[in-house]
Amino acid sequence: MKDIDECRERLTGIFNITVTPFMENGDFDWAGLARTIERVIGLGYDGILIGGTYGEFPAMTVAERAELFRRVMDVVGDRVPVMLCSAGSDARDVAELTGLAGDLGGLPMVTPPYVSEITDDQIVAFFAKMAPLSKTGILIYNAPGIGITLSPQLIERIAPLPGMVGIKQGDLSPAAIDRIAGRLGGSIKLFCASDLAFLGPMMVGFDGISSTNSSAFPELILASFRAVQAGDAATARDLHRLWYPFRELARAFGQPQTTKAAMALRGFDGGHMRAPLADLGPAEMAKVRDVLVALAADPRTGVTLSG
Protein backbone atom coordinates (compact mmCIF):
# COMPACT_ATOMS: atom_id res chain seq x y z
CA MET A 1 0.00 0.00 0.00
CA LYS A 2 1.46 3.33 -1.02
CA ASP A 3 -0.42 5.82 1.17
CA ILE A 4 -3.17 6.39 3.71
CA ASP A 5 -5.94 6.66 1.12
CA GLU A 6 -5.12 3.27 -0.39
CA CYS A 7 -4.81 1.78 3.07
CA ARG A 8 -8.26 3.01 4.09
CA GLU A 9 -9.79 1.70 0.88
CA ARG A 10 -8.33 -1.80 1.20
CA LEU A 11 -8.69 -2.31 4.95
CA THR A 12 -11.74 -4.55 5.20
CA GLY A 13 -12.69 -8.20 5.62
CA ILE A 14 -11.04 -11.09 7.43
CA PHE A 15 -7.36 -10.93 8.35
CA ASN A 16 -5.40 -14.00 9.40
CA ILE A 17 -3.36 -13.41 12.57
CA THR A 18 -0.32 -15.36 11.45
CA VAL A 19 1.53 -17.16 14.22
CA THR A 20 5.30 -16.90 14.21
CA PRO A 21 6.80 -20.37 13.73
CA PHE A 22 9.95 -20.86 15.80
CA MET A 23 12.26 -23.82 15.62
CA GLU A 24 13.02 -25.76 18.80
CA ASN A 25 16.20 -23.70 19.31
CA GLY A 26 14.25 -20.44 19.04
CA ASP A 27 15.26 -19.53 15.48
CA PHE A 28 12.63 -18.38 13.00
CA ASP A 29 11.26 -20.92 10.54
CA TRP A 30 11.09 -18.58 7.58
CA ALA A 31 10.09 -21.26 5.10
CA GLY A 32 7.25 -22.41 7.34
CA LEU A 33 6.04 -18.84 7.76
CA ALA A 34 5.98 -18.37 3.99
CA ARG A 35 3.94 -21.55 3.55
CA THR A 36 1.38 -20.36 6.10
CA ILE A 37 1.06 -17.00 4.36
CA GLU A 38 0.59 -18.65 0.97
CA ARG A 39 -2.07 -20.98 2.40
CA VAL A 40 -4.29 -18.22 3.76
CA ILE A 41 -3.85 -15.96 0.74
CA GLY A 42 -4.66 -18.91 -1.52
CA LEU A 43 -7.85 -19.60 0.41
CA GLY A 44 -9.02 -16.03 -0.14
CA TYR A 45 -8.26 -14.20 3.10
CA ASP A 46 -8.49 -10.44 2.72
CA GLY A 47 -5.28 -9.69 4.62
CA ILE A 48 -2.81 -10.87 7.23
CA LEU A 49 -1.58 -9.58 10.57
CA ILE A 50 2.05 -10.13 11.52
CA GLY A 51 3.96 -9.93 14.79
CA GLY A 52 0.99 -9.21 17.03
CA THR A 53 0.28 -10.40 20.54
CA TYR A 54 -0.27 -13.98 19.39
CA GLY A 55 2.64 -13.56 16.99
CA GLU A 56 4.77 -13.42 20.17
CA PHE A 57 6.29 -10.00 19.51
CA PRO A 58 7.17 -9.44 23.21
CA ALA A 59 9.62 -12.34 22.91
CA MET A 60 11.47 -10.70 20.00
CA THR A 61 14.12 -8.02 19.78
CA VAL A 62 13.46 -4.90 17.74
CA ALA A 63 15.94 -6.14 15.13
CA GLU A 64 14.10 -9.47 14.88
CA ARG A 65 10.77 -7.72 14.47
CA ALA A 66 12.19 -5.53 11.73
CA GLU A 67 13.52 -8.59 9.91
CA LEU A 68 10.13 -10.27 10.31
CA PHE A 69 8.44 -7.24 8.70
CA ARG A 70 10.84 -7.25 5.75
CA ARG A 71 10.64 -10.98 5.13
CA VAL A 72 6.86 -11.04 5.25
CA MET A 73 6.48 -8.11 2.89
CA ASP A 74 8.88 -9.79 0.49
CA VAL A 75 6.57 -12.83 0.47
CA VAL A 76 3.27 -10.95 0.29
CA GLY A 77 4.18 -8.06 -1.97
CA ASP A 78 1.02 -6.09 -2.64
CA ARG A 79 -1.34 -9.03 -2.98
CA VAL A 80 -3.21 -8.36 0.27
CA PRO A 81 -3.00 -5.67 2.96
CA VAL A 82 -0.66 -6.48 5.84
CA MET A 83 -1.00 -5.22 9.41
CA LEU A 84 2.44 -5.08 11.07
CA CYS A 85 2.38 -4.79 14.86
CA SER A 86 4.77 -2.08 16.01
CA ALA A 87 3.57 -1.98 19.63
CA GLY A 88 6.02 -1.57 22.48
CA SER A 89 6.66 -0.01 25.87
CA ASP A 90 9.59 2.11 24.61
CA ALA A 91 8.40 4.92 22.34
CA ARG A 92 11.73 4.87 20.47
CA ASP A 93 11.18 1.25 19.44
CA VAL A 94 7.60 1.98 18.43
CA ALA A 95 8.73 4.93 16.32
CA GLU A 96 11.39 2.86 14.54
CA LEU A 97 9.05 -0.02 13.75
CA THR A 98 6.12 2.22 12.83
CA GLY A 99 8.18 4.11 10.27
CA LEU A 100 9.57 0.88 8.85
CA ALA A 101 6.13 -0.74 8.57
CA GLY A 102 4.78 2.19 6.57
CA ASP A 103 7.85 2.35 4.35
CA LEU A 104 7.42 -1.34 3.51
CA GLY A 105 3.81 -0.79 2.48
CA GLY A 106 2.23 -2.35 5.55
CA LEU A 107 -0.07 -0.77 8.13
CA PRO A 108 1.59 -0.34 11.53
CA MET A 109 -0.56 -1.42 14.47
CA VAL A 110 0.13 0.65 17.58
CA THR A 111 -0.88 0.24 21.21
CA PRO A 112 -0.42 2.91 23.85
CA PRO A 113 2.88 2.35 25.67
CA TYR A 114 2.22 -0.17 28.45
CA VAL A 115 3.89 1.70 31.29
CA SER A 116 2.48 2.59 34.67
CA GLU A 117 0.57 5.77 35.44
CA ILE A 118 0.30 7.08 31.87
CA THR A 119 -2.48 9.64 31.47
CA ASP A 120 -5.10 9.95 28.77
CA ASP A 121 -3.51 13.17 27.53
CA GLN A 122 -0.14 11.44 27.23
CA ILE A 123 -1.71 8.59 25.25
CA VAL A 124 -3.35 11.01 22.83
CA ALA A 125 -0.04 12.86 22.41
CA PHE A 126 1.75 9.55 21.79
CA PHE A 127 -0.59 8.56 18.95
CA ALA A 128 -0.36 12.06 17.47
CA LYS A 129 3.44 11.71 17.42
CA MET A 130 3.48 8.20 15.90
CA ALA A 131 0.99 8.68 13.07
CA PRO A 132 3.12 11.02 10.87
CA LEU A 133 5.98 8.49 10.93
CA SER A 134 4.05 6.11 8.66
CA LYS A 135 3.09 6.97 5.09
CA THR A 136 0.20 4.50 5.35
CA GLY A 137 -1.13 5.85 8.66
CA ILE A 138 -1.58 3.69 11.74
CA LEU A 139 -4.09 1.26 13.19
CA ILE A 140 -5.01 1.83 16.82
CA TYR A 141 -4.61 -1.46 18.68
CA ASN A 142 -6.77 -1.65 21.79
CA ALA A 143 -5.24 -4.74 23.41
CA PRO A 144 -6.43 -5.24 27.00
CA GLY A 145 -4.39 -8.44 27.30
CA ILE A 146 -1.02 -6.72 27.11
CA GLY A 147 -1.49 -3.39 28.80
CA ILE A 148 -3.85 -0.46 28.87
CA THR A 149 -7.49 -0.79 27.85
CA LEU A 150 -8.55 2.24 25.86
CA SER A 151 -12.01 3.42 26.87
CA PRO A 152 -14.51 4.33 24.15
CA GLN A 153 -14.23 7.95 25.27
CA LEU A 154 -10.45 7.92 24.80
CA ILE A 155 -10.73 6.17 21.43
CA GLU A 156 -13.05 8.97 20.32
CA ARG A 157 -10.29 11.46 21.15
CA ILE A 158 -7.63 9.49 19.23
CA ALA A 159 -9.67 8.53 16.15
CA PRO A 160 -9.94 12.04 14.60
CA LEU A 161 -6.16 12.61 14.76
CA PRO A 162 -4.50 12.82 11.31
CA GLY A 163 -3.26 9.46 10.11
CA MET A 164 -5.66 7.24 12.08
CA VAL A 165 -6.85 4.59 9.63
CA GLY A 166 -8.77 2.31 11.95
CA ILE A 167 -8.94 0.49 15.24
CA LYS A 168 -8.44 -3.15 16.14
CA GLN A 169 -10.78 -3.38 19.10
CA GLY A 170 -9.94 -5.91 21.79
CA ASP A 171 -12.47 -4.77 24.39
CA LEU A 172 -15.53 -6.63 23.15
CA SER A 173 -17.94 -5.71 25.92
CA PRO A 174 -21.37 -4.92 24.44
CA ALA A 175 -21.34 -1.34 25.70
CA ALA A 176 -17.93 -0.60 24.17
CA ILE A 177 -18.79 -2.22 20.84
CA ASP A 178 -22.12 -0.42 20.63
CA ARG A 179 -20.59 2.98 21.32
CA ILE A 180 -17.66 2.52 18.95
CA ALA A 181 -19.90 1.30 16.13
CA GLY A 182 -22.40 4.08 16.75
CA ARG A 183 -19.95 6.93 17.14
CA LEU A 184 -17.07 5.96 14.83
CA GLY A 185 -18.55 3.68 12.17
CA GLY A 186 -17.84 5.16 8.73
CA SER A 187 -15.15 7.56 9.96
CA ILE A 188 -12.42 4.98 10.62
CA LYS A 189 -12.23 1.27 9.87
CA LEU A 190 -13.44 -0.93 12.75
CA PHE A 191 -11.91 -4.36 13.29
CA CYS A 192 -12.95 -6.94 15.85
CA ALA A 193 -9.78 -8.28 17.48
CA SER A 194 -11.17 -11.71 18.34
CA ASP A 195 -12.67 -14.56 16.34
CA LEU A 196 -14.14 -15.95 19.55
CA ALA A 197 -16.97 -13.44 19.47
CA PHE A 198 -16.99 -11.66 16.11
CA LEU A 199 -20.60 -12.20 15.08
CA GLY A 200 -21.96 -9.37 17.23
CA PRO A 201 -19.49 -6.67 16.16
CA MET A 202 -19.99 -7.57 12.49
CA MET A 203 -23.76 -7.35 12.87
CA VAL A 204 -23.53 -3.80 14.26
CA GLY A 205 -21.34 -2.54 11.45
CA PHE A 206 -17.69 -3.44 12.01
CA ASP A 207 -15.61 -3.61 8.84
CA GLY A 208 -13.74 -6.82 9.58
CA ILE A 209 -12.09 -9.18 12.01
CA SER A 210 -8.65 -10.55 12.77
CA SER A 211 -8.42 -14.25 13.58
CA THR A 212 -5.70 -16.25 15.35
CA ASN A 213 -7.56 -19.52 15.14
CA SER A 214 -7.75 -19.20 11.37
CA SER A 215 -4.13 -20.38 11.40
CA ALA A 216 -5.48 -23.72 12.63
CA PHE A 217 -8.91 -23.74 10.92
CA PRO A 218 -8.57 -21.37 7.95
CA GLU A 219 -11.36 -23.05 5.96
CA LEU A 220 -13.94 -23.09 8.76
CA ILE A 221 -13.45 -19.56 10.04
CA LEU A 222 -13.35 -18.12 6.53
CA ALA A 223 -16.64 -19.85 5.70
CA SER A 224 -18.26 -18.45 8.84
CA PHE A 225 -17.08 -14.93 8.09
CA ARG A 226 -18.19 -15.07 4.47
CA ALA A 227 -21.63 -16.19 5.64
CA VAL A 228 -21.87 -13.05 7.79
CA GLN A 229 -20.87 -10.91 4.82
CA ALA A 230 -23.54 -12.59 2.70
CA GLY A 231 -26.18 -11.84 5.33
CA ASP A 232 -26.60 -15.51 6.24
CA ALA A 233 -26.47 -15.19 10.01
CA ALA A 234 -27.87 -18.67 10.61
CA THR A 235 -25.06 -20.39 8.69
CA ALA A 236 -22.44 -18.19 10.36
CA ARG A 237 -23.85 -19.08 13.75
CA ASP A 238 -23.96 -22.79 13.04
CA LEU A 239 -20.39 -22.88 11.74
CA HIS A 240 -19.14 -20.83 14.67
CA ARG A 241 -20.73 -23.25 17.12
CA LEU A 242 -18.86 -26.17 15.61
CA TRP A 243 -15.51 -25.14 17.02
CA TYR A 244 -16.62 -24.08 20.52
CA PRO A 245 -14.81 -27.10 22.09
CA PHE A 246 -11.55 -25.81 20.62
CA ARG A 247 -12.17 -22.31 21.96
CA GLU A 248 -12.72 -23.86 25.38
CA LEU A 249 -9.34 -25.59 25.20
CA ALA A 250 -7.65 -22.39 24.01
CA ARG A 251 -8.95 -20.57 27.08
CA ALA A 252 -7.62 -23.34 29.30
CA PHE A 253 -4.24 -23.94 27.64
CA GLY A 254 -3.40 -20.46 26.36
CA GLN A 255 -2.77 -18.84 23.02
CA PRO A 256 -1.08 -19.16 20.62
CA GLN A 257 0.03 -22.44 22.21
CA THR A 258 -3.25 -24.18 21.43
CA THR A 259 -3.43 -22.90 17.87
CA LYS A 260 0.15 -24.02 17.21
CA ALA A 261 -0.69 -27.46 18.61
CA ALA A 262 -3.68 -27.77 16.26
CA MET A 263 -1.56 -26.62 13.33
CA ALA A 264 1.01 -29.34 14.09
CA LEU A 265 -1.72 -31.98 14.17
CA ARG A 266 -2.96 -30.77 10.79
CA GLY A 267 0.53 -30.83 9.27
CA PHE A 268 0.75 -27.01 9.20
CA ASP A 269 3.81 -24.93 10.07
CA GLY A 270 2.93 -23.65 13.52
CA GLY A 271 6.36 -24.35 14.93
CA HIS A 272 7.36 -24.06 18.57
CA MET A 273 6.77 -21.44 21.23
CA ARG A 274 9.43 -19.05 22.47
CA ALA A 275 10.08 -18.73 26.19
CA PRO A 276 8.52 -17.77 28.51
CA LEU A 277 5.67 -19.59 26.73
CA ALA A 278 5.99 -23.33 26.19
CA ASP A 279 4.57 -25.94 23.83
CA LEU A 280 1.62 -28.01 25.03
CA GLY A 281 2.45 -31.28 26.74
CA PRO A 282 1.30 -34.77 25.68
CA ALA A 283 -1.89 -34.74 27.77
CA GLU A 284 -2.94 -31.37 26.41
CA MET A 285 -2.07 -32.39 22.86
CA ALA A 286 -4.28 -35.46 23.24
CA LYS A 287 -7.25 -33.26 24.14
CA VAL A 288 -6.60 -31.01 21.15
CA ARG A 289 -6.43 -34.08 18.91
CA ASP A 290 -9.78 -35.33 20.22
CA VAL A 291 -11.38 -32.01 19.29
CA LEU A 292 -9.80 -32.08 15.84
CA VAL A 293 -11.00 -35.63 15.21
CA ALA A 294 -14.55 -34.51 15.97
CA LEU A 295 -14.22 -31.49 13.66
CA ALA A 296 -12.75 -33.60 10.87
CA ALA A 297 -15.75 -35.92 11.08
CA ASP A 298 -18.07 -33.05 10.09
CA PRO A 299 -17.84 -32.26 6.36
CA ARG A 300 -18.92 -28.67 6.96
CA THR A 301 -15.63 -27.79 8.67
CA GLY A 302 -13.12 -28.60 5.93
CA VAL A 303 -10.78 -29.83 8.66
CA THR A 304 -8.39 -32.69 7.95
CA LEU A 305 -5.72 -34.32 10.12
CA SER A 306 -2.13 -35.03 9.21
CA GLY A 307 -1.49 -38.75 8.73
Catalytic residues: 141, 168
Task: Give the CA count within 13 Å in the CB-facing half-sphere of 210.
Answer: 32
Q: What are phi and psi of 162, to 5 degrees?
A: -55, 135
Cβ–Cβ under 8 Å, residues 214 and 43: no
Closest CA to 290 of 245, 233, 224, 238: 245
Task: Give the CA count within 13 Å in the CB-facing half-sphere of 109.
Answer: 29
The Cβ of residue 92 has, within 10 Å, a number of other Cβ atoms equal to: 9
Cβ–Cβ under 8 Å, residues 222 and 246: no
Q: What is the dihedral of CA 219, 105, 23, 265, to 10 degrees?
A: 0
Q: Is the dihedral of CA 268, 168, 244, 199 positive or negative?
A: negative
Report the distance separating Cα 158 and Cα 152, nearest Å: 10
Report the distance separating Cα 224 and Cα 222, nearest Å: 5
